[in-house]
Amino acid sequence: MNRKAYIKDKGLAVMVLLVIWIFVLLFGKAFRVPAPFLALVLFLVTSGTLLVIVREYVRRRRFYSDFLEKLVQLEDKYLITEMLTEPEFLEGKLLVDALYDIDKSMKEAINDLEASVMEFKEYLELWVHEIKVPLSGLLLMNYNHNTDSDSQRMQLLKMQQYVEQILFYARGDASQKDYLLKKCRLEAVVNKVLIAHKELLIGSRMQIRKKELDREIITDAKWLEFILGQIVNNSEKYRKGTKGELMFDSYEEQEKIVLVVEDRGIGIASSDLDRVFEKSFTGKNGRRTAQSTGMGLYICQKLCRKLGHEIWIESEEGSYTRVYLAFGKNAYYEKVM
């Protein structure tokens, strides 16, 4: 701790002391106070002030010297709070408390980041395993000189879906705003999704029904197309029998517009319904197929939260599954336009 800097910092106290000196001298002269008494008063005032200044300097110097010495020795500077002793003065205590809070906040942020990285690593390993299946299928077709274009197209579509899935998974974790909310026609988004998945739907003989879709919603069309694509994939994957049925409907409430996507597939077990949005959860029916990764609905929910939408599911095993997507239409969404 620099002595000159400390004295300069105490300049106000020195000025107050000088003012007291002048006041005492003028007071003594005006009331003819004996010189020895004035000298004694000035000595006591000066000694008391200097004693306080020196005492505070010693305490602060001891603490800050120890602080800087330990800080230099530490390789991981953020551990400094664990090395400090409790200071004797108020400002030091406030500093230590502030450093402790900063250190705690930083550690929590690092833990969250590490958890996010580990989560992405786990998903990446799962994704690589899944994309190897259609890739191996294509390599095998090529090795056997198989020219079945429909089979090749289906494998390529699966690869495209997996690539889109990891792309939107990464976007969902991105801290920056990677989406644009604007008005769009609900029916136009649904039609675009159906066209993108027509090969899959035709191959699975899925019957499509639409009604009450002529509504305007506020969303990011590209993100919504991905979300609906995941729902369509699940409907095809868990269809009942050799063909399925997929219905799109919507209704309007006071504060939101709700899209309902319903299929007549194998449904979801009631014991699994509360966990369908959990990461990597496949459930009872999901374990019956090797194609289930348990990531689709997890990513859908994450993206919906980013967009400010709601998503929930109703289902009856062996009968149907309904996925609800709610789009807000209140003042908040009008402001982003």
Contact 298, 165 (CB under 8 A): no
Residues 99 and 204 occupy one common structural domain: no
Asked whether residue 283 is assigned to any structural domain, the reply reads yes
3-state secondary structure (DSSP) of residue 185: strand
Quick check: is 33 in a domain? yes
Q: Pick 212 or 19 by higher pLDDT.
A: 212
Winning range, highest mean pLDDT, from 49-63, 68-82, 95-109? 95-109
Any idea which of 142-146, 223-227, 255-259, 261-265 has the lowest mean pLDDT? Answer: 142-146
Residue 132 lies in a domain: no
**Centroid of chain to Cα 39:** 69
Least reliable range by pLDDT among 51-60, 104-113, 280-289: 280-289
SS3 20: helix
Domain of 255, in residue numbers: 179-337
Average of per-residue pLDDT across 286-297: 66
Judge whether residue 188 has pLDDT over 90: yes
Q: Is 24 among the domain residues?
A: yes
Phi, psi (deg, nearest 5) at residue 8: -65, -40
- Tell me the percentage of the chain whose pLDDT exceeds 90: 20
Clarify whether residues 210 and 62 are in a common domain. Answer: no
Q: Predicted confidence band at 337 (pLDDT cuts at 50, 70, 90)? A: very low
Yes or no: say if 127 and 162 are a contact pair by the CB < 8 Å rule: yes
What is residue 250's predicted lDDT score, i.e. its pLDDT?
A: 95
Three-state SS letters, 194-243: HHHCHHHHHHCCEEEEECCCCCEEEECHHHHHHHHHHHHHHHHHCCCCCC
Out of 106, 135, 155, a domain closes at: 106
What is this structure's pTM?
Answer: 0.67
- Are residues 191 and 52 both part of a single domain? no
Do 192 and 84 fall into the same domain? no
Place of tokens 């010693």: 58
**Domain boundary, last residue among 91, 106, 121:** 106
pLDDT tens digits, one per residue of 215-240: 999 999 999 999 999 999 888 888 87
Neighbours of 307 (CB within 10 A): 20
Q: Half-sphere exposure of residue 311, counting CA atoms within 13 Å on the CB side?
A: 22
Residue 311 domain flag: yes
Q: Are residues 197 and 334 in the same domain?
A: yes
Over residues 35-40, the mean pLDDT reads 80
> What whole-number percentage of the chain has pLDDT above 70?
88
Assigned domain for 14 exists: yes
Give the residue from 247, 232, 153, 154 showing the smallest Cα distance to 193. 232
Is the domain of 229 the same as that of 310? yes
- What's residue 291's pLDDT? 56
- 186 and 42 assigned to the same domain: no
Residue 32 is assigned to a structural domain of this protein: yes
Shared domain for 70 and 191, answered yes or no, is no
Give me the helices (H) in the chain, please.
3-9, 11-30, 35-73, 90-143, 149-173, 186-196, 198-203, 221-237, 283-286, 296-307, 331-335
DSSP-assigned letter for residue 77 = G
Query: Which of residues 63, 79, 106 is at a domain's end?
Result: 106
**CATH code assigned at 242:** 3.30.565.10
Nearest to 169 by CA among 119, 212, 132, 130: 119
Number of domains in the chain: 2
- Residue 113 included in any domain: no
* Environment class of 77 (CB within 10 Å of its CB; exposed 0-12, middle 13-18, buried 19+): exposed
* 193 and 99 inside one domain: no
Q: Are residues 96 and 184 in the same domain?
A: no
Instruction: Report CA dihedral (286, 287, 293, 297) to the nearest 10 degrees.
Output: 30
What is the residue whose two structure tokens read 């069309």?
A: 221
Same domain assignment for residues 102 and 212: no
Q: In the structure, what pLDDT confidence band is assigned to residue 321 with cuts at 50, 70 and 90?
A: very high
**160 pLDDT exceeds 50?**
yes
Whether the Cβ atoms of residue 217 and residue 254 lie closer than 8 Å to each other? no
pLDDT of residue 336: 47
Express each pLDDT in 50-75 by its tens digit.
787 787 778 888 888 888 888 888 88
Phi, psi at residue 215, to the nearest 5°? -135, 155
